[in-house]
Chains A and B, each alone.
Chain A
Amino acid sequence: QVQLQESGPGLVKPSETLSLTCTVSGYSISSGYYWGWIRQPPGKGLEWIGSIYHSGSTYYNPSLKSRVTISVDTSKNQFSLKLSSVTAADTAVYYCARTTMVRGVIYFFGYWGQGTLVTVSS
């Protein structure tokens, strides 16, 4: 059974960098699939942030691309998100998810972590 678990600080100051890690169990990241991040502001809808392959190939949401870095550590079966220069608008529940992707097209997100709330506030 594939399981994903997000971890990281729940409070980040404005202008600083948000950093989260997703630990995958029950499946080796190196075996395939892309691995991604999606966020959901409180009471609002879902926004895809970006996805990464075990080789390091990445795809980012154009609206966030200038501030986002996603990396992978196959030895730990983890992948990570960094979002720089955060503001209150970045306050959200951040989910990691296994991404089905074919020939440059992101299909769907089949397995999700439980999510972690990150609040941007001084």
Chain B
Amino acid sequence: EIVLTQSPGTLSLSPGERATLSCRASQSVSSSYLAWYQQKPGQAPRLLIYGASSRATGIPDRFSGSGSGTDFTLTISRLEPEDFAVYYCQQYGSSPTFGQGTKVEIK
């Protein structure tokens, strides 16, 4: 089973700042088989990025994904108030797994 480790656990930033979230896999993830989700309190996760770098429908272009192999990054270019949330990465597979999450909080 591939284990995904997200860092940092919490990111304290101000609106307008750039957020860089990391997701590291315990072994190489095939063909950029990685997705990112955003979850706000009391809500279901929302798909942001699939295939490591493709934005899901309706996702603003301030969200971007990159990486391959074992190291992946979610970047939010300029934080909007509605972007403060928890973010999860997820690897594709016959038994998909999620990272433990990174909380982006207001500084």
Residues of A with Cβ closer than 8 Å to B? 45-48, 59, 61-62, 95, 97, 100, 104-110, 112-115
Q: Please tell me if the beta carbons of A112 and B33 are within 8 angstroms of each other in the complex.
A: no
Q: Assign chain B's interface to a size class.
A: 20 to 34
Q: Please tell me if the beta carbons of A106 and B94 are within 8 angstroms of each other in the complex.
A: yes
| Distance of A104 Cα from B45 Cα, bound (Å) | 23
Task: Known A45-B100, A45-B101, A110-B56; judge A105-B45 contact (CB<8 A).
Answer: no
Which chain A residues lie closer than 8 Å to B50 at the CB level? 100, 107-108
Q: Please tell me if the beta carbons of B45 and A46 are within 8 angstroms of each other in the complex.
A: yes
| Distance of A114 Cα from B90 Cα, bound (Å) | 19
Task: Known A45-B101, A95-B44, A110-B47; judge A105-B88 contact (CB<8 A).
Answer: no
| Distance of A45 Cα from B23 Cα, bound (Å) | 14
Q: Does B92 lie at the interface of the complex (its beta carbon under 8 Å from any beta carbon of A)?
A: yes
Instruction: Write the nearest CB–CB distance from B100 to chain A, whole angstroms.
Output: 5
Q: Please tell me if the beta carbons of B44 and A106 are within 8 angstroms of each other in the complex.
A: no
5 contacts between A and B (CB under 8 A): A48-B95, A48-B98, A105-B33, A108-B92, A112-B44
Report which of B44, B88, B95 forms a contact with A114, defined as CB distance below 8 A: B44
Residues of B with Cβ closer than 8 Å to A? 33, 35, 37, 43-47, 50, 56, 88, 90, 92-101
Q: Please tell me if the beta carbons of A112 and B45 are within 8 angstroms of each other in the complex.
A: yes
Q: Please tell me if the beta carbons of A62 and B95 are within 8 angstroms of each other in the complex.
A: yes
Known: A45-B98, A108-B50. 5 other contacts (CB 8 A): A95-B44, A100-B50, A105-B93, A109-B90, A113-B44
Q: Please tell me if the beta carbons of B99 and A106 are within 8 angstroms of each other in the complex.
A: no
The residue in chain B whose Cβ has the minimal distance to the Cβ of A47 is B98
| Distance of A11 Cα from B43 Cα, bound (Å) | 20
| Distance of A71 Cα from B92 Cα, bound (Å) | 22
Which chain B residues lie closer than 8 Å to A112 at the CB level? 44-46
Q: Please tell me if the beta carbons of A61 and B95 are within 8 angstroms of each other in the complex.
A: yes
